Amino acid sequence: MSDSLSPVWLSAATSLTATLITCICGTALAGWRLRRSGVVFAVLDGFFILPLVLPPTVVGFLLLLLFGRHGPLGRVLWTMGVSAVFSWPATVIAATVASFPLMYITARASLEQVDSDYLDAARTLGASEWRVFRRVALPLAAPGLIAGTVLSFARAFGEFGATLMLAGDIPGKTETLPLAIYFAVEAGEKVRAAEWCVIDVMLSLLLLFVLYAWTHKQFPVRASARRG
């Protein structure tokens, strides 16, 4: 392997950062959305899920409009000294947006199926809504939340289209594994592409393992908790 291993580190850092953000925001939004209904929320749901439906190029283009130097969000970030396009943060933004719907949908479904008697019991015992969420809803929804996190990671790790549009392909800066493979093939360097592919598979497995360990620590599911 003649090249530096930078795509490996970039891919790992980008996908794990994106998964962390997605996991927290997706769960928080799903929790906030619980017990709220109405047209406004249905429309909002549509927006949250949109990145899953749209082609990655469309998502990438919309992100470019939003986060570009003259875009509404890009300008705000620029004043804070962050360049949100053609930079490492751009890879994180693209991966986060692409993986968010998977987390949001799974988190909502798993929080909704928690038996409301548990939540009500906690409330009558004096628990605040935050404590009910943190101590009761989250642990009981844990299997679903873990599944959502794993799905999100898978999506973030494989993210290609939106990343290319928003972050470009800058070796050592924004070139993640999927981009590196694409451009290796394009340049006719088949051997290098194959090497990246093997590394991609091994890294996926390794990171999935790390993720499982981490999420199970965050949301311990006791083996016999579901009995009775």
Spatial separation of the C-alpha atoms in residues 10 and 53, rounded to whole Å: 26
One of 118, 182, 212, 214 touching another protein (CB under 8 A) = 118
Torsion angle (degrees, nearest 10) of CA 96, 102, 108, 114: -120
Q: Which range of residues in 14-22, 48-56, 121-129, 174-182 is near another protein by CB under 8 A?
A: 121-129
Number of residues that bind another protein (CB under 8 A): 25
- 121 touches another protein (CB under 8 A): yes
- 34 touches another protein (CB under 8 A): no
One of 57, 76, 120, 213 touching another protein (CB under 8 A) = 120
- In the DSSP assignment, the letter for residue 132 is I
Cα–Cα distance list, 105 to 26, 59, 63, 155 (Å): 8, 18, 21, 14
Task: Tell me the helix, strand and coil percentages in the chain, rounded to 5.
Answer: 75, 0, 25
Complex with another protein: residue 126 or 188, whichever CB lies closer: 126
Task: Provide, rounded to whole angstroms, the least separation between the CB of residue 124 and another protein.
Answer: 5
- 124 touches another protein (CB under 8 A): yes
Cα–Cα distance list, 166 to 22, 95, 127, 133 (Å): 18, 10, 44, 36
Residues lying near another protein in the complex (CB under 8 A) = 115, 117-118, 120-128, 131, 135-136, 139-140, 220-222, 224-228
